[in-house]
Amino acid sequence: MGLSLHGVSLQAQETGESEALRDMTGYDGVIEAERQTVIAAEVSGRVVAVSVHPGERIRKNQIMIRLDERAVDQNVAAKVAQERAVRATLEVATREYERQNQLFAKGYISQAALDRAEARFKTTKAQTEAQLAESSALRAQAGYYVLRAPFDGIVAEVPVSLGDMAQPGRTLVSFYDPSHLRVTAQVPESMILSSSTTVPSRLELKGAGMKAQWIIPTYVTVLPTADPSSHTVQVRLGLPGDALHPLGRPGTFVRAWFPSGDSTREVLWIPLSAVVHRAEMTGVYVRDREGHPLLRQVRLGRVLEQQVEILSGVSPGEQVVPEAQRALTQGR
């Protein structure tokens, strides 16, 4: 029975001829948020409410943490009472100063008496303004006991628990904006100098036991400075907000693939479905001159999407059966 399968003609793919099969080099990268925030305590206080947990989506102005504000509330109440008192004192001093001005205009009091009345008025006014400033600062401080989200995001970490004592500078919540993520990778200077980063690069994102997801970056930015010790340059690649893998979160390691600088290197690719694994042997079915499939051992290289690179065992122009399982079935 003859085979009806058509083979895949292996042609040498020069870098730049086919985007899907171009010769690419991968570098380790890590996902990070373009916008991430750490909320730290600005005042001392015991944690009395934790309203968020890691992984939770939050909205702008949503309450995340509350600190015990009873002491500051009492201070605010005391300041309010003092504020009323100094306002009343200022009103009395103002009326007295106006009355002394009228008496001076009529010649009933001396200039020295008017000066003393003016000094008392200015002193009382300064004291009132100082008291009002203290009250305003205390009211602003009261807002430090209720921590709200400055923008929509996802909670990354809540390193405090109910009852903990917060001190100024202690981290209470960290969160990030999941709609603006990027990948940073350290790439050799030689690759940057020999390859145009305007050519679309690719990101490979996968976890254990999960199929790889390939993402085309929304942008590629090469930082203008290099690390003198490692001779690498940081490259940033934007992640689209609507194409994220379940593991696509800050801290996740990915592979960033860039076009190789060698545009003359011959690269041979075949479908992954063409590969046969038998014990320790890896091979593919190559059609002979009569069109019959013959198993041949090969050495594989990189995997890119559903393609695998052939390093040795097959030459350009030979016909490889694209689906090894069908070759086995129909060849019986």
Report pLDDT digits (tens) over 59-70.
999 999 988 877
In a domain, 158, yes or no: yes
Intra-chain end-to-end CA distance of the chain, in Å: 8
Q: What is the mean pLDDT of residues 131-146?
A: 72
Mean of all residue pLDDT scores within the chain = 78
pLDDT digit string, tens, across residues 263-313: 555 678 888 888 888 888 898 988 888 888 888 999 887 777 677 888 888
Instruction: Indicate the range of 11-25, 128-142, 143-157 predicted with least confidence.
Output: 11-25
Residue 169 identity (one-letter amino acid): G
Positive or negative CA dihedral for 93, 95, 101, 104? Answer: negative
Name residue, tokens 């600062």.
137
Looking at the fold, whether 155 and 270 belong to one and the same domain comes out as no
The reported pLDDT for the residue numbered 270 is: 84
CA proximity to 203, closest of 262, 154, 252, 267 = 252
How many structural domains comprise the chain? Answer: 4
**Residue 224 is part of a domain; what is its CATH number?**
2.40.30.170
Instruction: Identify the residue with better confidence: 201 or 3.
Output: 201
Looking at the fold, whether 184 and 252 belong to one and the same domain comes out as yes
Q: Where does residue 184 rank: exposed (0-12), middle (13-18), buried (19+ CB within 10 A)?
A: middle
Positive or negative CA dihedral for 140, 143, 147, 148? Answer: negative
The residue among 259, 282, 314 that closes a domain is 259
Domain range for 291 is: 8-20+265-330
In a domain, 218, yes or no: yes
High-pLDDT (> 70) share of the chain, %: 76
Looking at the fold, whether 43 and 165 belong to one and the same domain comes out as yes
DSSP bridge pairs for 183: 31, 237
Q: What is the mean pLDDT of residues 28-40?
A: 91
**Residue 133 is part of a domain; what is its CATH number?**
1.10.287
Residues whose CB is less than 8 angstroms from the CB of residue 305 and which lie 6 or more positions away in sequence, other chains included:
20, 212, 214
Looking at the fold, whether 63 and 155 belong to one and the same domain comes out as yes
CA proximity to 221, closest of 178, 182, 259, 260 = 182
Q: Using alpha carbons only, what angle is made at residue 264 by residues 262 and 268, rounded to the nearest 5 degrees?
A: 100
- pLDDT over 50 (residue 5): no
Residues whose CB is less than 8 angstroms from the CB of residue 296 and which lie 6 or more positions away in sequence, other chains included:
283, 284, 285, 286, 313, 314
Instruction: Identify the residue with better confidence: 137 or 228.
Output: 228
Positive or negative CA dihedral for 5, 273, 266, 194? Answer: positive
Q: DSSP code of 74?
A: H
The reported pLDDT for the residue numbered 197 is: 47
Provide the pLDDT confidence category of residue 131 given band limits of 50, 70 and 90. confident
Structural contact between residues 296 and 286, judged by C-beta atoms closer than 8 angstroms: yes
High-pLDDT (> 90) share of the chain, %: 19
Q: What is the mean pLDDT of residues 225-251?
A: 80
Instruction: Indicate the range of 72-81, 163-172, 270-279 predicted with least confidence.
Output: 72-81
In a domain, 1, yes or no: no
The residue among 231, 259, 287 that closes a domain is 259
Q: Choose from 67-81, 137-151, 171-185, 192-206 the range with maximum mean pLDDT.
A: 171-185
The reported pLDDT for the residue numbered 38 is: 92
In a domain, 3, yes or no: no
